[in-house]
Structure 1
Amino acid sequence: MDNLPLFLGWRIWKMRNKLLFENKRDHIVSVINSACLDQKMWMEAISTHNSKEDQAIQSSRPKSIQDVLLADTTDYCLVDASWISPTEMCGIGWSLFSKEGTLRIQGSSAVSPTNSPLIAETTTLLSAIQQLIRLSYKKVHLIGDCEILMKLAKNAVFKSR
């Protein structure tokens, strides 16, 4: 990514302010050199940050589903929704697996339009939970891609125990 024009613009802006407010002039060669140095420092900082961030993500990422499940979990249920707009139907789906990864049962449906992806994800989670209760499944770990909803569901489960 060539962001030198950004740093040149910044240094020219600083040069202008120095002239206006301090009545001091910077030589244009000095301004260009400073912009090149700024860009070099920025790129070094980004590459160092990205490599540390990548390492942290890799080390914290679960290796398998077993790393995510609680010890007393017997099954896990993946839930997801497909939302396009508030005027279009949503697709919802869930799949229940044994702790070992064998598919036990799944469900999917098209539902009425919702105002947001969060509502669609919540509808999916509700549908899955209703079916799991109806079929007498217990100790099921719910997994979805809506982080805020999964945190809320996890807190509700632990508060109800």
Structure 2
Amino acid sequence: MFSYENFKITAYKLLSVVHEQNNPAHRSLPPVEQQLWKNLWKLKTLPKIRHFLLRVLSGAIAVKERLRSRNLGTDTTCKTCGQGPETVCHLLFTCPAAVEACKIAQIPPPRGGFSPNSTFLNLHYLVACTKKRNAELGNFKTFPWILWNLWKSRNSLVFENSRSSDFSCVTKSVEEANIWFQVNNDTCVPSHDIAQPLPLSDHWVRPPMGLLKCNIGSAWDHLWGLIGTGWLLRDRQGTPINHSRRAFSESTSRREADLNSLLWAVESMVNMRLKNVILEASSIELREALLEPHQYPELKSLIERILLLFSRLDSWSLIHVQGSRNRVATAIAVSVITDVRTQSYVATGGPSWLSHTILSEAQAV
């Protein structure tokens, strides 16, 4: 009987035979290299990314240094950074863009740093880290998507002269990884996520064990530039721990208003010495600004302040949800605009005038 597992094994053996035929000098690979090839073939990721990583290991991607060896160009300078020759190791592991991407994704390099010359050592380290227990895992399981998107970003820059930010590369990678693991009924919950896909639910969902959830609301009066911000922090049982309302002035856009709301919420979590928090917001403008910050240079300093505050939390996620899952926080924010409640505060528990909604959401989970 045909089975997908048998097909995968057969395909791997076929790939090994082709590799040996094309590389006579490497017909007898050391056991550790053979094991890495097998591990890459079994890696939990998209098939196209697995094939990409196998090509990376064999040096078969068209970086400038490899093209020059085939007399297809003379300039080997990395266009991404302009600081060194574009080799496979440089582009994916030691280029400042790759280093920054790993930093944002919370993927620590080996103790001595990634090798500038050996893709084998670099991939061996990353694959080995994916086998660690979840407590030690961090975002390592997202590394295939990060390398893939670094390669795609490089190609967009070379062929379309379109440059994307390191932050955008990582957030896109994390989001794609989470979607893949959810669809394949696997577990990959990176400790630091931005703009994850929303779970399929039309009401507030309790956080996992050991985590708190902070819902963030935002409202903006375009005539007066007034921003209304509200957040509500709840535990796993849906019991409100703290809530806040704050007014800001002189905002020129809805996107700026939503970023200020997020800034206030994260700043509050840090000041309250909370370390493990899930944040939820229903702003499309906020999601766009975080996924593509280079599109909004006027908001660069605001986004950088938010990211700096995020770095002070141990474990966090920022999830985009539909409005029905964010009703209480949004109502607090809207009250600043509609009822001119401009007094800012942080208080224990939830707002009394929304107690019925808070209770009904807690009972629904």
TM-score of the two chains, using structure 2 as the length reference:
0.24
**CA shift in 2, pair 1:134/1:77, >3 Å:** same
Within 5 A, what are the aligned runs for 1:29-108?
61-62=200-201, 64-66=203-205, 69=207, 71=208, 74-85=211-222, 87-108=224-245
Residue number among 90, 106, 114 corresponding to 2:251 in the alignment: 114
Unaligned runs of 5+ in 1: 1-59
The code of the aligned residue for 1:66 comes to V
The code of the aligned residue for 1:134 comes to N
Tell which has more relative contact order, 1 or 2 (C-alpha 8 A, sep 6+): 1
Counterpart Cα distance in 1 of 2:236 and 2:284: 22
Native 8 Å contact 1:90 1:112 kept in 2: yes
Aligned length: 97
Unaligned runs of 5+ in 2: 1-198, 292-306, 316-365
Native 8 Å contact 2:216 2:279 kept in 1: yes
Counterpart Cα distance in 1 of 2:284 and 2:209: 22
Native 8 Å contact 1:86 1:113 kept in 2: no
TM-score of the two chains, using structure 1 as the length reference:
0.50
**CA shift in 2, pair 1:64/1:73, >3 Å:** farther
Q: CA deviation at 1:63?
A: 5.6
The code of the aligned residue for 2:205 comes to Q
Structure (1 or 2) with the larger CA radius of gyration: 1
* SS at structure 1 position matched to 2:217: strand
**CA shift in 2, pair 1:90/1:64, >3 Å:** closer
Counterpart Cα distance in 1 of 2:225 and 2:237: 37
**CA shift in 2, pair 1:110/1:63, >3 Å:** closer
Residue number among 261, 273, 282 corresponding to 1:145 in the alignment: 282
| Runs of 4 or more consecutive aligned structure 1 residues displaced over 4 Å after TM superposition | none
Q: CA deviation at 1:78?
A: 0.8
Q: CA deviation at 1:134?
A: 0.8
Within 5 A, what are the aligned runs for 1:15-34?
none
Q: CA deviation at 1:118?
A: 1.1
